[in-house]
Amino acid sequence: MFFTAQILQMIFLKKLDRVFTFPTIGFFSDLLLFGTSIMTIDWIMKNIRRGLNYSDLDEEEIFYRKIANYQVIIDYKFEYLLAIMISCLILKVLDLIQFSADIGPLVKIVGKMLGDFLNFFILYAILIIMFAVVGNLNFIFYLDEFTGLFESCETVLDASVGNYNFEMYDAITSNNMISIFGDFYTIAIVVTFNILILNLIIAILSNTYNQFDTKSTGLYLSKILNARDEMTFDENYGAIILTMTPLNVAVLPMVPFALFQKPSPRINQVLMILQYAVLIIIIYILFLGGSLIMLPFAYLKSVSMKAQLIFKGQSLKESIKNKAYFLGFMVFGPVLLLMTLFADLIYFWKNNFRSNLKKIIIERQRSTLTNNTIRDLKMLCSKYSKEKIKSVYSIDFVKTFRRNFKVRENLQYLLFGQMIPDGGFGNGAALATSNPNKLVSLQTMNIRQFRRNQQERDNTAY
C-alpha cells in the first residue's frame, strides 16, 4: 500500500498543480516493495494453497496438504524476497528520518557521497581489470588462480582487500623469473589498492563531508521545502493526498470519482475521519487504559499533598479547613477522580473531530532597523570609500557611531527584543549630515591631531 499512496500523491498533486518530488529513495523503495509483495502473494497462492480449494476438506486434511506443498517447493529461495522487503522497509525509515533536524542532514550528506563513491567504484573496477589482465597473461600456464579472466579478477580483488598470498608463486618451479615477477606483482596490487586507492576514497568522502557539513541546516530545510506540496492539506483532496498506509484502503473506492469531479469539503472530511478512525480508536483505548492505571497513583499523590497542608496552616481556621479538605478527599476522592476522567475522555474524543481550532498567533514585533538606518549606514560607508579611508582608529569610530546612532538608548531592544519607538530614541541621520572632513580626520595617521583639535574646541566652548 506504500506504492499505492505514492501513485495517489503523484496523480492528485498534478491535478492541483503542485510538485511531486521524483525520483526519490521512498518512491523506488515503495516500487520494489510493491513488486516483491506481488511475487510473494503469487507464490503463496500458486504453491502453498494448491489443492486447498475444496469445500469438503477438514482442518487436518488442509494441514497435511500444506505440509506436502511445502515439501515440494522447499528449495524455493523465499528468504531472498523477505530480505528485499526488509531492506525496503529500512529505506523507508531512512526516508522518514530525513525530517529530523539532527539526523536528516547526515542522511542527505551520505546521499551526496554516493555519487563520489560511484566514480571511485568505476576507477576501482578499471584497475581490477587491468591487474587481472596482466596476471592472466603472465600466470595462465602456471597457476590455477589465473586460468581465466574471471578467476584473475577474483584473485586481484582478494589481494586488493588484503587477502594476498606470496607463497602462491612458490609453486612455479619451472620459471624463476615468473616467480619473482609474481612477488612484485602482488606488491604492486597491495600498494596501489591498500595505500593509494584507499586513501583516495577517504580523501574524496572527507572533502564531500566537509563541503556539506557547514550546509546541514540548508540540507534539512531543502527536505522540508521539497515535501511542502506533498504535506500541505487541501480541503477537497486532503484525504487522498495525506493518506497513511494501510489506512488508505478506505479511500480507494473514492478515487475514480475524485479523478473526474472535485470532492466537496464535507466528503473530504468524512473520508479523513473514516481512514483515521482505527488510529483514533487505538489512541483512545491507550489513553483510557493509561488514565485508569494512573488513577490510584493520582489519588495517593493528592492524599499526601493534602495531608502535608494540615501542618502548614497559619491559623486555627486554616488548619481546620485543611483537615476538612483532607477527610473529604479521603472519602470522595475516587469519585471526583473518576468524574474528571470521564470529562477528560469526552474532551479527548471531541477534539479528535474538531476543525475550528484556534491557531497559535504570534504577534510580529516591528524592528527598529528601518530603511533610513540602512541608508545611513550605506552613506557612511560610501563616504569612507570616497575619501579613500582604509583604516580608522576603532575607539573613536565606535564612540562616534554609538553617539550618533544612540546605541546605548537602543541597547534594551538589542538585548531583550523589546519594543522601542520607531526610529529609536535618537536622530540616526546626524552622522550622515556631518562634515566629511571629520571622517578624514579619523584616519589612523591623523588621529592624534584630531583628538588635540577636539580637546581645544571643547576648552574654547567652556
Q: CB count, 10 Å around CB of 59?
A: 7
pTM greater than the 0.85 cutoff:
no
pLDDT at 129: 92
Q: What number of CA atoms fall less than 13 Å from residue 172's CA on the CB side?
A: 22
| Long-range CB pairs of 67-76, under 8 A, 24+ apart, other chains included | 72/47, 73/47, 76/43, 76/47
Nearest partner of 442 among 433, 453, 432, 430, judged by Cα: 453
> What whole-number distance in Å separates Cα of residue 307 and Cα of residue 326?
6
Average pLDDT of the chain to the nearest whole number: 76
Q: What is the mean pLDDT of residues 270-288?
A: 83
Residue type, 117: F
Cell 525530517 belongs to: 99
* Per-residue model confidence as pLDDT tens digits over 410-447: 654 554 444 444 444 444 444 344 444 444 444 444 45
> What whole-number distance in Å separates Cα of residue 211 and Cα of residue 239?
40
> What whole-number distance in Å separates Cα of residue 33 and Cα of residue 91?
10
Nearest partner of 240 among 81, 15, 64, 441, judged by Cα: 15
pLDDT at 454: 64
pLDDT exceeds cutoff 50 at 300: yes
pLDDT exceeds cutoff 70 at 152: yes
pLDDT-based confidence at residue 361 (cuts at 50, 70, 90): very low
pLDDT at 367: 56
